[in-house]
Structure 1
Amino acid sequence: MKTQIWDMRQYSHHSEDYPYLDEIKHVYEQGGLIALPTETVYGLGANAKDQEAVTKIYEAKGRPSDNPLIVHIYDQQQLTPFIETITDKVQILMNYFWPGPISFILPLKRGYLCEKVTGGLDSIAVRMPSHPIGRAILKYVDLPIAAPSANTSGKPSPTTFDHVYHDLNGKIDGIINGDQSEEGLESTVLDCTTYPFKIARPGAITQSMINAILPDAVVDSNYNDMVRPIAPGMKYKHYAPDTPVTIVKMKGKHIPEIMDKEHAAFIFPEVYRQQIPSESLFIPLCKDDQDIKTANHNLYKILHDLDNMDHVHKAYIYGFDINDDTQAIMNRMLKAAANRMIGE
């Protein structure tokens, strides 16, 4: 299969005249797969009403069929045909956080979306992205677009065009070349099928941010990853490069002694540069412990880059103290490291 490339970078922030929209709409209407940029990560999009098209997503990614997809929209009115109810509390959160990096799991009204998109569930996760190119496409195509991350299942999610091209060129119909994703981690997924709500997957929108809008609306989740997942990223191995990764927890302000330092990369905040062993490679993750937004933005790109470094055989990555702000990045790091951790 020849994968079509549409370069729309120069239109990202300063023009409403987006080229190629007719071509892109035609591919989606004909059941094709196109990777598109969002502010979180690049998504692999297909018409969520087309069973054959959604099946192609699972095939292209090598994704388990019980792993549900998120449906992306441009306007809240698009939810009416396939969402059973939107409570007043959910509506308040949608109005405040959309467009943006949060997905809401809502009760499904059957018969509009194809069965494959839900992973067999009676609910569906929906999101309204804020990326200007993604929004222009969703508005013009005027279809609900099912879009997991545009990568081989289990690998780090793509935050650049190059990541998508490396993984899926020749496997999908097209890739839209946009800017590097601003957030760098997948969206928060909020389960709104019961109240109080639960965070099924942490992301840029945190529990405290939600509770600041609706006090006590969110409680800590207690989902079992080994049962049927209700959101992407819960049950299966995710976010892992081929290079083995180990999380390093600090002893005070000092990196613990690590014996196996040859051919190793240390992915740490800039403030720890002087402590990195001379025989190892230092890769800056962010400025310091408080620079979480930069760490989120950089994480997946660094994990992708590791696998292109022939001289790096292993990586050690800085482990943040887990709190409301760091929950999302530590969730991704722990999965990338298969829970390997030293220094604690």
Structure 2
Amino acid sequence: MKTTRLIVDNNVNKIEVYTQAVEKLKMGEVVAFPTETVYGLGAIATNEQAVAKIFEAKGRPSDNPLIVHVGEAHHVLKYVSEISKKADDCIEAFWPGPLTLILHAKPNVFAPNVTAGLSTVGLRMPDHPVALELLKLLAEPVAAPSANRSGKPSPTTALHVENDLQGRIPLILDGGATGIGLESTVVDFTVDPPVILRPGGVTAQMLRTVIGEVIEPDTTTVDDATVPRAPGMKYAHYAPDAPVFLIQPDLDAVDRAIQSIHTQNQKVALLAPDEFKHNEADWFFSLGNQQNLESTAQHLYAHLRECDDTTADIILVTVPLKTGVGAAIFNRLEKAADGNWWHS
């Protein structure tokens, strides 16, 4: 299969580009497109055969549910059996934006492989001009996980998508680098108080400002026998080729870890804040200023991907405080490391 990447900017015929994408989707194909979080790989959510192509292209486990994207907030009423006041208030406050709501799905609306057999569905309205224009022209719900090979760092540029899925999908809409860089916050509104299943750009504090109490569980993973209610809860995700180990942002501890790795004749790549750049790591990737975690989030996946261009045997990553968007960064790093922490 030939993969075409079409740039969407002010210098191209946008109507022609969007028309190609809409035609592909209506023919039951998949199309990669940018959102404000990461690039998504979309198929019409009511077409089971089309949705199956998402799982095939990504190599994604079939018990991992997909988030459905809509182009208009009121379209949600077509797809769910009820919307609580709290859910409605969050739609009003955060859509379009990086918030996915888990709600009770109307029966027999979505393809069964979208919901992984659950009675619930995750819905969101992305805040990106390319995604919104595509969804509005298509006028159909689009199931779209991140547009990468399953388990790998999510793509924040069209080139990341092309590197992962070249020859596996027909079309990529290139809308430039994404803004937030981490997937949406997923909140279960089928229970009260609502529960955060995956932290993201809409933080717990932002939610509490709108709807009051929100539960942040100690863990956002499920066991092997459980069907996850949201993406990213069950399997190792976001991982580069070399093993990732987490470490606290302590200069002495990081120096000791690097010395220990070098003693074993291994090379190490370090992802850490700027103040760690003068250490003995073989490669250093800056996570920026610890006071600006939004910038850290924006570049995290790109740095993890850049590690694959090195010959590092081990990737060491310092963790942020679990406050604000730091909770989302911490969550993604735990998944990338599959829970592994460095112990000297």
Q: Same fold (TM over 0.5)?
A: yes
Aligned residue number for residue 30 of structure 1: 27
Amino acid at match of 2:300: L
Amino acid at match of 1:159: T
**How has the CA–CA distance of structure 1 residues 325 and 223 changed in structure 2, closer, same or farther, with 3 Å as cutoff?**
closer
In the TM superposition, residue 324 of structure 1 has moved relative to its aligned partner by 3.7
In the TM superposition, residue 224 of structure 1 has moved relative to its aligned partner by 5.1
**How has the CA–CA distance of structure 1 residues 238 and 77 changed in structure 2, closer, same or farther, with 3 Å as cutoff?**
same
Aligned residue number for residue 233 of structure 2: 234
Deviations along 1:84-106, one digit per CA (max 9) or x if unpaired, are 01112111110110000010000
In the TM superposition, residue 236 of structure 1 has moved relative to its aligned partner by 1.1
Amino acid at match of 2:172: I
Contact persistence 1:54–1:116 (CA under 8 A): yes
1:128-147 correspondence to structure 2 within 5 Å: 128-147=125-144
Question: Residue 170 in 1 paired to residue 179 in 2?
Answer: no
Secondary structure in structure 2 of the residue aligned to 1:220: coil
The total of aligned residue pairs comes to 336
Deviations along 1:280-336, one digit per CA (max 9) or x if unpaired, are 22211112x212111100110011111122x32222111223234311101111111
Question: Residue 220 in 1 paired to residue 216 in 2?
Answer: yes
**How has the CA–CA distance of structure 1 residues 336 and 224 changed in structure 2, closer, same or farther, with 3 Å as cutoff?**
closer
> Within 2, Cα distance between the matches of 1:308 and 1:87?
47
> Within 2, Cα distance between the matches of 1:136 and 1:266?
39
Amino acid at match of 2:132: R
Aligned residue number for residue 272 of structure 1: 276
> Within 1, Cα distance between the matches of 2:252 and 2:322?
16
Contact persistence 2:5–2:172 (CA under 8 A): yes
Aligned residue number for residue 333 of structure 1: 333
Amino acid at match of 1:283: F
> Within 1, Cα distance between the matches of 2:167 and 2:220?
37
Aligned residue number for residue 281 of structure 1: 283
Aligned residue number for residue 260 of structure 1: 261
1:309-328 correspondence to structure 2 within 5 Å: 309=310, 311-328=311-328
In the TM superposition, residue 256 of structure 1 has moved relative to its aligned partner by 4.7
In the TM superposition, residue 242 of structure 1 has moved relative to its aligned partner by 0.6
**How has the CA–CA distance of structure 1 residues 16 and 112 changed in structure 2, closer, same or farther, with 3 Å as cutoff?**
farther
Deviations along 1:27-48, one digit per CA (max 9) or x if unpaired, are 1111000000001010000000
Amino acid at match of 2:246: I
**How has the CA–CA distance of structure 1 residues 223 and 239 changed in structure 2, closer, same or farther, with 3 Å as cutoff?**
closer
Amino acid at match of 1:196: P
Deviations along 1:197-246, one digit per CA (max 9) or x if unpaired, are 00011101111110011122x11236651121000000111111111211
Deviations along 1:110-129, one digit per CA (max 9) or x if unpaired, are 12221111110000000100
Contact persistence 2:198–2:220 (CA under 8 A): no
| More off after superposition, 316-325 vs 153-162 | 316-325
> Within 1, Cα distance between the matches of 2:314 and 2:131?
35
In the TM superposition, residue 16 of structure 1 has moved relative to its aligned partner by 10
Gaps of at least 5 residues in structure 1 are none
- Runs of 4+ off more than 4 Å: 15-18
Secondary structure in structure 2 of the residue aligned to 1:125: strand
TM-score (norm 1): 0.93
Deviations along 1:124-150, one digit per CA (max 9) or x if unpaired, are 000100011111111111110000000
The RMSD of aligned alpha carbons is: 1.9
1:47-66 correspondence to structure 2 within 5 Å: 47-66=44-63
> Within 1, Cα distance between the matches of 2:131 and 2:13?
12
Contact persistence 2:62–2:116 (CA under 8 A): yes
Aligned residue number for residue 40 of structure 1: 37
Contact persistence 2:249–2:272 (CA under 8 A): no
- Could you tell me the percent identity over the aligned residues? 37
Contact persistence 1:264–1:280 (CA under 8 A): yes
Gaps of at least 5 residues in structure 2 are none
Question: Residue 195 in 1 paired to residue 187 in 2?
Answer: no
TM-score (norm 2): 0.93
**How has the CA–CA distance of structure 1 residues 196 and 115 changed in structure 2, closer, same or farther, with 3 Å as cutoff?**
same
Q: 2:156 aligns with which of 155, 159, 174?
A: 159
Contact persistence 1:101–1:130 (CA under 8 A): yes
